[in-house]
With several copies, the nearest count.
Chain A
Amino acid sequence: MNQAISLAISEEMDRDASVVVFGEDVAVAEGPFKTSEGLLAKFGPERVRDTPISETAFLGAAVGAAMTGLRPVAEIMFIEFMGVAFDQMVTEAALMHYLSGGRYEVPMVMRASVGSGLGFGCQHSQTLERWMLGTPGLKLAVASGARTAYGLTKAAIRDNNPVVILEPRTLYGQRENVDIGDESIIPLGTAEVVRAGTDVTVVALGQTVSVALEAADSASWSGEVIDLLSLMPWDRSTVLESVRRTGHLVIVEENQRSGGWGTEIASVVANEAFGVLRAPIHRITAPDVPVPYGPELEKRFLPSAAYVQEQVSSLLSTKKSPSSWWEELV
């Protein structure tokens, strides 16, 4: 996936001289996760820059550069670091178009690595979509592999709004054939049905897409798996259309249960598909705990394919939300 990201950025830099890249160690070192490989060599130190450890400064600089004529792609190494620069994302970048009465545009991309699975501990392993949900003026998408990372990154760079792209860290090393070119651009705000099915709609995002697919592929039930891809805006019609057919919705989230992105989906679908749902909407999430260290615990934090399979089976057979694995523990 990291190569797909480098390539997407590189192609867009070729296409448009106003695209610039900066972040911590993205230039000389080609990115802590090698997502800017070759960019410095190809485009030079004016367009590809290493920054100090100053997330507020460089996100703010992205805002200013975007408003005045560049198209910056800024990298936040771990999404948690957005915490030290949050104002620039949700209060400045998001509102500058509005605050100029529509006269300034803010075509900037904020990329960040997210997620558990690599033993980075509780301050470097979250997905944190919840921080951004509902922010007027911001778009947000999440890659689920090389192909979608490529397609979303290109769409984000061409968009004239501030766009956040989250990249599941465990997927950087994943290899996948990616068709390149404009046809592979994934419009922001569109979900993809990645597996057709009839019994249940399973909405997943980022790292949980492959989990949901794996669960569905060997299940006794017929699951329609949707890769949501974008959270702001999110593709209501694709989800609702599917739920109307299947009568069941399961949401598979990497985040903690409370306040997770699935609450947004669940509350909308519960409302709009009321009467159509043949069982409660069931959210499969991590428990409300900091992401633990240690491979076994961290693995347990993220819903597994077997667990998803089991939970969905239970939901479909009982028409009741099964309890979560941790309920007997806490």
Chain B
Amino acid sequence: MSDTASPEVPQSTQRRHEVNQSPIARLERMIEIRLVEDRIQDLFAQGLVSGTTHTSQGQEAVAVGLAAATRATDFVCCTYRGHGHALALGMPPAVVLGEVLGRQIGCMGGVGGSMHLSDPDVGLLPTFAIVGAGTPVAVGAALQFATKKTDGVALSVFGDGATNIGAFHEGLNLAAVWNLPVVFVCENNLYGEYSPLESTTAVTDIADRAASYAMASEIVDGQDVDAVQASIARAVARARSGGGPTLVEAKTYRYVGHSRSDKAPYRKDGELEQWLARDPIELFAGQLLASGELNPDALDAMRHRQLQLIDEAQERVLASPTAAIPRMFENILSPSHS
């Protein structure tokens, strides 16, 4: 009935493991994410894509830290701001870019678009375009692990604004009551669309909300990939060992507008600059340079390699046809049964 597997898919499993393996690989993945996101913005700006997109420049350390702390057999529920996570978890740039551009090479063959990325090979459930919707779904994935008594963990990634919606509350309570192996990761980037946190949210630290569920919580510097990885790893270890759910709040920032059309006039003076000064890629690169794990030439080479890979990916994407009409009739109902 459908061409289920994109030709790129096998590659994602392999890419999935890289971020678990070395700090250098994690830095490189963060660079990749930044470049892909920038590229997506460029392509939109050039009018090569219609529709909308939500990019994540500035938040790369959360995505890569999360991927580094988890396994390919875990499940992850992300949001419309999901390109970074998809890449971090292993989806190849051409598959991400391809979906954003509505091309057949994309993970949905181009009929989904920027908000709908998924890759079963690395446990990425379709990213959620409805705020909060992914949280209970992750709880369900965790229920599956618990019921089958495997040691998998489900992760739910969402923004600060999403913590004001009912699904967040219900999902966390259910996870706590059933003591499920799930980690809730809040990317607190201080804004939900154009609204600053304090105008919509009664607390400053989202982590404080864990107390309503007698749940463990942590606040972590979302610009520090090592810290994110360590924090999520602690939560994941707790979950795997039957210790139940955790709420991890990563303080981070998006450099760009909420979506394609947003110029972010609502930013506070100096705020962007302050966050740019703690850019997660620069911080991590600086650390690796300082420790000698990386030298400036290698860093340069890395940036060039990534740029080239993304140029190549873009080329392949632009060579891939747009979704064909018949594709819109596929995969609506599964023909199979048990």
Please give the residue numbers on chain A whose beta carbons come within 8 Å of chain B beta carbons, in ascending order: 16, 20, 24-25, 28-29, 32, 46-47, 49-72, 80-81, 83-84, 87-88, 91-92, 95-107, 118-124, 136-137, 139, 157-161, 287-290, 292-297, 300-301, 326, 329-330
In chain B, positions 250-267 with a C-beta closer than 8 Å to chain A are: 266
Q: Nearest chain-B residue to A54 (Cβ)?
A: B170
Q: In the bound complex, do residue B333 and residue A137 qualify as a contact, i.e. CB atoms below 8 Å apart? A: yes
**Residues in A neighbouring B72, C-beta threshold 8 A:** none
**Chain A residues whose CB sits within 8 angstroms of the CB of B192 once the complex forms:** 24, 52-53
Q: Tell me the smallest distance from the CB of B252 to a CB of chain A, in Å.
A: 18
Question: Which residues from B are CB-within-8-Å of A107?
Answer: 337-338
**CB-CB contacts of B98-131 with A at 8 A, as 1s and 0s?**
0000100001111111111010100001101111
User: Is B290 located at the chain interface by the 8 A CB criterion?
Assistant: no
User: How far is it, in angstroms, between the C-alpha of A157 and the C-alpha of B6 when the chains are bound?
Assistant: 29
Q: How extensive is the interface on chain B, given as a class?
A: 35 or more
Q: Are B51 and A121 in contact (CB under 8 A)?
A: yes
The 8 residue pairs across chains A and B that have the minimum distance between CB atoms = A119-B51, A64-B140, A60-B136, A294-B102, A293-B113, A57-B170, A102-B331, A61-B140
B116, A122: Cβ atoms under 8 Å?
yes
B110 partner residues in chain A, CB cutoff 8 A: 293-294
Residues of A within 8 Å of B142, CB to CB, are 64
Q: Are A289 and B336 in contact (CB under 8 A)?
A: no
Query: Quick check: B140 and A101 within 8 Å, CB to CB?
Result: no
- Which residue of the partner chain, among A29, A54, A72, A330, contacts B164 with CB atoms under 8 Å? A54
| Chain B 324-338 per-residue mask, 1 if CB under 8 angstroms from chain A, else 0 | 011111111110111
Query: Does B322 have its Cβ within 8 Å of any Cβ on chain A?
Result: yes
Tell whether A121 pairs with B174 under 8 Å between CB atoms, given A64-B143, A97-B334, A294-B322.
no
Out of B125, B129, B171, B266, which one reaches A28, CB within 8 Å? B266
Interface stretch, picked from B63-71, B146-154, B277-285, B301-309, is B146-154
- Sample of 10 A–B contacts (CB below 8 Å): A52-B161, A60-B140, A64-B143, A64-B154, A67-B140, A91-B130, A99-B112, A101-B118, A124-B129, A158-B337
A165 to chain B, nearest CB (A): 15
Q: Does B195 have its Cβ within 8 Å of any Cβ on chain A? A: yes
A76 CB, nearest partner CB in chain B, Å: 12
| Chain A residues positioned under 8 Å from B332 (CB to CB) | 97-98, 136-137, 288-290
B318 → chain A closest CB, angstroms: 14
How far apart sit A182 and B195, CA to CA, in the bound complex (Å)?
A: 35
A65 touches B51 (CB 8 A): no
Looking at the assembled complex, report how far the CB atom of A51 sits from the nearest CB atom of chain B, in whole angstroms.
7
| Chain A residues with CB below 8 A from B161, complex form | 52-53
Q: B333 touching A52 by the CB < 8 A rule?
A: no
A175, chain B: closest CB distance, angstroms: 19
Known: A52-B173, A61-B139, A84-B132. A68 touches B75 (CB 8 A): yes
Residue from A24, A104, A158 within 8 A of B125 (CB atoms): A104
B140 cross-chain contacts in A, Cβ below 8 A: 60-68, 70, 72
Nearest CB of chain A from residue B298's CB, rounded to whole Å: 37
| Contact (Cβ within 8 A) B334 A301 | no
Contact of A121 among B1, B114, B139 (CB under 8 A): B114
The answer to whether B137 and A102 have CB atoms under 8 Å apart is: no
Provide the bound-state CA to CA distance between A52 and B173, in Å: 8
**Residue among A16, A59, A96, A100 having the largest count of chain B Cβ atoms under 10 Å:** A100
| Contact between chains at A292 and B328 (CB < 8 Å) | yes
Least CB separation from B101: chain A residue: A294
Chain B residues positioned under 8 Å from A59 (CB to CB)? 136
| CB-based nearest B residue for A61 | B140
A103's closest neighbor in chain B, by CB? Answer: B120
A102-B4 in contact given A65-B144, A68-B75, A92-B133 (Cβ < 8 Å): yes
Distance from B62 Cβ to chain A, minimum over Cβ atoms (Å): 19
B138→A84 contact, CB < 8 A: no
Known: A97-B333, A301-B328. A118 touches B50 (CB 8 A): yes
* From B125, B166, B170, B325, contact of A329 by CB (8 A): B325
Q: Say which residue of A98, A105, A293 sits within 8 Å of B102 (CB atoms).
A: A293
Residues of A within 8 A of B193 (CB): 24-25, 29, 32
**Complexed CA–CA distance, A99 and B75 (Å):** 16
- CA–CA, A158 to B337, complex, Å? 5
**Contacts beyond the supplied A29-B194, A300-B328: 4 A-B pairs with Cβ under 8 Å:** A55-B165, A60-B170, A69-B144, A295-B102
How far does the alpha carbon of A230 sit from the alpha carbon of B243 in the complex, in Å? Answer: 44
